[in-house]
Amino acid sequence: MLTDFRLDSAGVREILRGDEVRTLVDGLAEDVAANVRSLVPAGTTIEVRGYTTDRGAATVVVADVQAMAWQARDGILTRAAASAGLEVRAWQR
């Protein structure tokens, strides 16, 4: 028995750009931001910025001049993302 399977690219794109994915992504980004706040000095500005490319996306920004050092030394963003249940991998081209 042969089954015909066709990927509905337009349907997948619609789902990835939809409100449900946007809500999920924004919620996870807020979780990461909350986790980062517990790892940096009080008063450090943490920003969540949602955007859309071919799908809903968000960034968590630590708006402090020492943020890169904190990430390099302590892995604040990596640890915060892992605590939110996200898998962190090196970016590949």
In eight-state DSSP terms, residue 50 is E
Between these two residues, 54 and 78, which has the higher pLDDT value?
78
pLDDT at 89: 86
Query: Residue 69: pLDDT above 80?
Result: yes
When pLDDT is cut at 50, 70 and 90, the band that residue 22 belongs to is: very high
Region 44-58: what's the mean pLDDT? 93
Q: Distances from the Cα of 29 to the Cαs of 1, 14, 67, 85, in angstroms?
A: 44, 21, 17, 11
Say what the pTM is.
Answer: 0.84
Region 46-71: what's the mean pLDDT? 93
Q: What is the mean pLDDT of the chain?
A: 92
pLDDT at 59: 95
CB of 74 closer than 8 Å to CB of 39: yes
The helix or strand, by DSSP H or E, that contains position 32, with its residue range, turns out to be: helix 19-37
